[in-house]
Structure 1
């Protein structure tokens, strides 16, 4: 037996992953255990979980693979500060203590965390090699082009490579400070959202605007070539030397200072979001075409934070040169832990890989699970009188009935998801036919901006009937956007359309019914698609089937089981607290169905303020 522990830490979303004899046994982000969103600390609890899930101790680990090379990253940091000295001194002064305390001593920290009994060999992989490995090795293809895009690793910000059999090779790269991820984050910051978490918001805001600034971006901010390579004019940015993303020239170009967080969104911000989204999609399409030309591959795999831009991914699949595209579900830094472990197994140990036309990610259900006995003890301790459903069919019919009655349900089943998306293990679900569902979920459950769209979870075999997606393609990890089919759309009269386009109140715009499933139809008729199949996710699939039997609709609204500023719930206790503190109607913990009564609603009033105060708004 060969056990390889992968670790990512200290930058964004620390995580651990365990691979045993080439099989992915467990993977989880540290934030799910500590309840600190995007926790970047060393993933002590995630490591402990992975070992426990495999029935191993640290003494059983043969290799520990860290997802990047801290010394190379430190070299880039020093070179950048020296290039901009003395203007970057404040940023330098804040960064250096953390490097001297922790990041430069990764070997010592890993040894200390795993204890004296661990004799594992330590391996440090290149950041983008880790991303590439996380994309190719678990993917479904024997041969594929590889595209990795993020803010920055050691030096690379974008790479093109190829994977074949059990080996990967990176062929080209774009180097820091020229970065598509940092460019997108600059607009995230400028529009008043938090860097490294608000990019989703910017993507969701884009359809409300028009790309009127795209020419300014391409003429002033970046020199984009036909092959997708580019250079940024760094005079507009501040991320190399300062504590902010954008500089005075950027602010002058786009009409004023950055938007203050939580302040009113103006049409200008929506147009800026639409413009940078347009440019991002154009860059991804061009690089994708270049990757196909350079590798001759028919399929593509992707990873890195920019690979979470599901709108760009959808366009690349529809308009690009590839037969199929597979994106690592944990495409950001967390997935680097998994990639590093798989890199050791396949690339360094030269172990064979046998793709079978379906990915080896196991639906990305790689986190902890909790049985009925444990849940029953927890509920009894909370004074909740509940019994598990006697049969699965009873469970599905009961929950589907609540959903059809316009109830909002917390759905907690099986192993927790690895990656940023809830995929039917830790989900909040609802009826997509309800015109008010999107606003209700956003404002009363998630406590977040009303403009943000929700994803449709649709039976895979029915997806192409409702969305413009080829039946041969799937989107199990909610990483592709597809348009709602024309025949499922609801016509909007021209006067309403004109009024809506000029309405500054996004709540009124989002509440306009655009299709038969308005709760999952964005203002541009797009939907962030999750296809649900019986093999990966049998319980969620059967629940949607039960809902379809009642309503005729094979779709549910699916959003992550958390409130704004909180990580996705991990334990039954996390789920129950979130249930009490929000306006959720029903909580399903494995086979237990808890319907909120008046007493629970009253208890929730006292829980809510205390609960929400724990989490920092993002």
Structure 2
């Protein structure tokens, strides 16, 4: 037996992953345990979980890998600061203490984090190698082209390559400071959202605007070539030498400074979101076309933070040259922990990839359900400590039927079932669910449960065998990891009753009914679709099918089980607190169901949560 631990830490979204004899056993982000969003500390809790899941001790680890090369990253930082000196002095002074005290001594830090009980060697790979490995090795493909895009690793911001059998090779790259991810983050910052966490808000805002600034961006900010390579005009940016993303020249180009988070969102913000989204899609599409011409591969694997741009991914599937696309569900830095573990097994040790079991596996990611699960005794003990009132079920079909009926009756249901998801998307096991047919559900869930911006769309989850009835999904494709956007099928559209048209601007369009599933239909008739099948997640499929049997609708709202400023819930205690502090109606913890009515101390929990949430964000 060979046990390999992969670690990503100290930058953004620390995580751990454990691979044993080539099988992915466990993976989790540290934030889920510490309850600190995007926790960048050493992933001690995630490591402890992974080892416990496998029944292993630290001493039984054969290899430990880190997802990037810190000395190479340090070289880039020093070279950048020296190039801009003395302009980058403040940024340099802020970064150096952590580098000198921690990041330059990663072997020491990791050994210390492993309680000085690990005596083996360490492996370090380049950042984009870990992305590429996380994309290709868990995929269902024996061979595929590989495309990774993010802000920056050590030097690389974009890489192209190919995976064959149990090996990957990266052949082309674009290097810092030219970065598609940093371009998108610059607009995220300029439109008033937080960099490294608000990019998906910018993507959700884009359909409210018009891409009228796309040409301006292409003329001034980024030169995009036909092969998808690009170069930024660095005079418009400040991330090389300063503590902000954009420069005064950027602000002059668009006629104002960055929006402050508390200020109203303007039409300019919406149009800029639409414009940079359009430019991003062009770069991704051109890069993929070039990669296809270079590799002649039918399949494409993707990872890196930009690979979480599900609108670009959907367009690539529709318009791009590849027959099949597989995207790592934990495409950001957290997925690097899984990438380095798999890279050690396949590339360093030369081991073949495990064969897929056609009856129980559709890829090697195990539905990305790689986190902890909790027993009935764990759940009952936690609930009894809170004197909660609940109903326990022994029959899975009856449980699914009763919960489906509660959803059909208009209740909002929090669900904790099975293993927690690895990656930023809740895929049914740590989810808040609702009826998509309700024209009020989006605003109710945004304002009274998630405590977030009203324009943010919710994603639909749909039975895989009914997906094509409701969404324009290309034949033969699915979207199990909620990483692709498709249009709602025109047969489900309804005529607007408000008199507004597609050219009408403003966030006032947010509550307009556009389809028979209005709560999951975005302003441009798009939806970030998750398909559910009985292979990857049979329990969730059972619930969704029970809802379909009662309503004739195979679709539910699926949003992550958390509120603004908090990570997705992990434990029953996390779920109970979130349930009690919001206007959620029902909580399902495995085979235990709680209804809000009659629960003790509800008012106390809600007062506490409302206070803390608006301090957090």
TM-score interval for Structure 1 and Structure 2 normalised by the shorter chain:
over 0.9
Aligned equivalent of 2:94: 94
After superposition, the C-alpha distances for 1:474-529 in whole angstroms (9 at most, x for unaligned) are 11000000000111111226x7124x85454x2x3111100010000000000000
Residue 414 of structure 1: SS of its match in structure 2? coil
User: In 2, distance between residues paired with 1:381 and 1:56?
Assistant: 31
- The answer as to 2:438 corresponding to 1:434 is yes
User: In 2, distance between residues paired with 1:571 and 1:374?
Assistant: 9
Residue 497 of structure 1: SS of its match in structure 2? coil
1:84-483 paired onto structure 2 within 5 Å: 84-356=84-356, 358-483=362-487
Question: Among residues 497, 500, 512, which one is paired with 1:497 in the alignment?
Answer: 500
User: In 2, distance between residues paired with 1:607 and 1:591?
Assistant: 28
After superposition, the C-alpha distances for 1:275-331 in whole angstroms (9 at most, x for unaligned) are 000000000000000110111100000000000000000000010000010000000
- The answer as to 2:55 corresponding to 1:55 is yes
Compute the displacement of 1:77 (Å).
0.1
Aligned equivalent of 2:29: 29
User: In 1, distance between residues paired with 2:68 and 2:599?
Assistant: 51
After superposition, the C-alpha distances for 1:387-436 in whole angstroms (9 at most, x for unaligned) are 41120111111111110111100011011000000001100000000001
Aligned equivalent of 1:19: 19
Checking the alignment, whether the CA contact within 8 Å between 1:463 and 1:471 is kept in structure 2 is no
In structure 1, the gaps of 5 or more residues are none
User: In 2, distance between residues paired with 1:599 and 1:77?
Assistant: 54
Query: How many residues in Structure 1 have an aligned counterpart in Structure 2?
Result: 612
Compute the displacement of 1:353 (Å).
1.3
TM (normalized to structure 2)?
0.98
Compute the displacement of 1:610 (Å).
5.0
User: In 2, distance between residues paired with 1:39 and 1:117?
Assistant: 24
After superposition, the C-alpha distances for 1:41-73 in whole angstroms (9 at most, x for unaligned) are 111111111111111111000100000000000
Compute the displacement of 1:114 (Å).
1.4
Aligned equivalent of 1:597: 597
Moved more, 84-93 or 508-517: 508-517
Moved more, 594-603 or 551-560: 594-603
Aligned equivalent of 1:566: 566
Residue 559 of structure 2: SS of its match in structure 1? strand
After superposition, the C-alpha distances for 1:565-594 in whole angstroms (9 at most, x for unaligned) are 100000000000000100000000000010
Compute the displacement of 1:603 (Å).
3.8
User: In 1, distance between residues paired with 2:345 and 2:9?
Assistant: 20
Checking the alignment, whether the CA contact within 8 Å between 1:139 and 1:355 is kept in structure 2 is no
Checking the alignment, whether the CA contact within 8 Å between 1:413 and 1:426 is kept in structure 2 is yes
Residue 496 of structure 1: SS of its match in structure 2? coil
The CA RMSD measured in Å over matched residues stands at: 1.2
Checking the alignment, whether the CA contact within 8 Å between 1:30 and 1:39 is kept in structure 2 is yes
User: In 1, distance between residues paired with 2:215 and 2:611?
Assistant: 47
TM (normalized to structure 1)?
0.97
Compute the displacement of 1:599 (Å).
4.6
Aligned equivalent of 1:529: 529
Compute the displacement of 1:598 (Å).
4.6
Checking the alignment, whether the CA contact within 8 Å between 1:586 and 1:596 is kept in structure 2 is yes
Checking the alignment, whether the CA contact within 8 Å between 1:13 and 1:333 is kept in structure 2 is yes
- The answer as to 2:551 corresponding to 1:548 is no
Compute the displacement of 1:472 (Å).
1.0
Residue 183 of structure 1: SS of its match in structure 2? helix
Checking the alignment, whether the CA contact within 8 Å between 1:581 and 1:611 is kept in structure 2 is no
In structure 2, the gaps of 5 or more residues are none
After superposition, the C-alpha distances for 1:440-491 in whole angstroms (9 at most, x for unaligned) are 1111100000000111000011101110012411110000000001111112
Residue 100 of structure 2: SS of its match in structure 1? helix
